[in-house]
Structure 1
């Protein structure tokens, strides 16, 4: 496992990349990685460009954070993701424009394109709304993330979880593209054709052997 300093630098890099890719605005969004008996997570309310390795906060499995630092207000749902899925080690949350627009509609993204399988399912779910930073929202995330590694949060944004930060950021970007396509299709007012569950299962199998190849 990478040491804390390396992981902290990777978290900061991911935050800056998220902004560069147009997936986030201001101090919205947060990023974490699994670490020891808990996680390392971005601090609350700090602009990404001012973030330092020392500002990254350790939160243990019980939700206790190290003294003198305040973790992101949404640390609870990050912990919920790690508890729900042992196959992921990184979580990216943002308010990406397209994903958030679909989330405001309260809609999952259906299988409009074979890339829907990036989340490991035949759709990108949308979990119910709850106040940010609440245990209720964490509970919704816990249930939703079991279905797909990417989920929408109603009236809020996107969560993407993967085995490392590079893959989690890639997943977040791919889902925002899917959301953009879906919004364009909704705007036509036409019935939207979708791929069958059987076809998505074929794609899911193919992704196991030649999906995203970002090494640790």
Structure 2
């Protein structure tokens, strides 16, 4: 096993534990994957994160349809949409799926998140879409997730949770946390008289251009 693969496996375990520690996820729900050459490394199914070790991470070929893996434990039941996202989105090298409270509440109500905050631009457009509903682990869920993610780096899964993509594991996790933060702010703004004031497409486009010159990662760290 290469040093790069060992580091990726270790970082997946660390971020799984971080997800639960920061409240982004609960119990054994949620899962994380990372691209490694023509394979993806993905968390195993029904395994407590505190007990998870790097050698438990499953490895699957991105370019194969069969449910085949290397490792001592079965991959997450959501392996299919992780594989399909990495297959169809060469810009993504990591996928974080979680069930955070506020974003999942909006997903239950089938409410996409509009441009209520300028940081919505971090997700590639002027909103974060909510997918149609499909049963977990199915080809249908993969298809609806890919549709909701078109031109975006995050989406809500109807009556389910969230997906966030990243050029790296750390960037995917940053987007997952940012998504829940904006979801919380949007949820509370809906309780106020008059509701949220939504930014224009021009406002979001200007923000995105600013990210391009300033650097999204630097912006995230500064905030």
TM range (shorter): over 0.9
Match of 2:61 in 1: 60
Do the aligned partners of 2:107 and 2:156 also contact (CA within 8 Å) in 1?
yes
Match of 2:102 in 1: 98
1:141 is aligned, of 131, 140, 145, to 145
Say if 2:127 is the partner of 1:123: yes
SS in 2 for 1:187: coil
1:167 is aligned, of 164, 171, 180, to 171
Do the aligned partners of 1:44 and 1:72 also contact (CA within 8 Å) in 2?
yes
Match of 1:212 in 2: 217
Matched ranges for 1:30-69 at <5 A: 30-61=31-62, 62-63=64-65, 64-66=68-70, 68-69=72-73
Count of matched residue pairs: 215
How many angstroms apart in 2 are the aligned matches of 1:65 and 1:172?
A: 26
Question: Could you list the per-position Cα deviations for residues 37-94 of structure 1 after superposition, in whole angstroms to 9, with x for gaps in the alignment?
Answer: 1200000000001001110000112142126430000011111211221111011010
Offset at residue 35 of structure 1 (A): 1.3
Say if 2:78 is the partner of 1:74: yes
Shift in alpha-carbon separation, 1:193–1:212, aligned structure 2, 3 A: same
How many angstroms apart in 2 are the aligned matches of 1:74 and 1:43?
A: 10
How many angstroms apart in 2 are the aligned matches of 1:65 and 1:205?
A: 41
- Across the aligned residues of Structure 1 and Structure 2, the Cα RMSD in angstroms comes to 1.7
Do the aligned partners of 1:89 and 1:161 also contact (CA within 8 Å) in 2?
yes
Matched ranges for 1:6-17 at <5 A: 6-17=7-18
Offset at residue 118 of structure 1 (A): 0.9
Give the TM-score of the pair, scaled to structure 2.
Answer: 0.92
5+ long unaligned stretches in structure 2: none
Offset at residue 190 of structure 1 (A): 2.4
5+ long unaligned stretches in structure 1: none
